[in-house]
Amino acid sequence: MTIRVSRDGGRTWTKTVTVAPDATGPPASPGYPPCHCPRCRTAPANAREA
């Protein structure tokens, strides 16, 4: 993934930075991080994706 940042509304941009995914990082899924709100704590696991 590449990232460029503008801090002045898009007039100028930083250099492009390439970010490689970290194999030891968190899983890329909608269920991560797990939600601990009252609604999700009581819902079945397959109903948590909203």
Q: For the whole prediction, is pTM greater than 0.85? A: no
What's residue 8's pLDDT? 93
What's residue 45's pLDDT? 59
What's residue 47's pLDDT? 56
What's residue 6's pLDDT? 93
Taking only the tens of pLDDT, the chain with its 50 residues reads: 788 999 998 999 999 988 776 656 666 666 666 777 887 777 665 555 54
Q: Are 15 and 2 in contact (CB under 8 A)?
A: no
Q: What is the CA radius of gyration of the chain?
A: 18
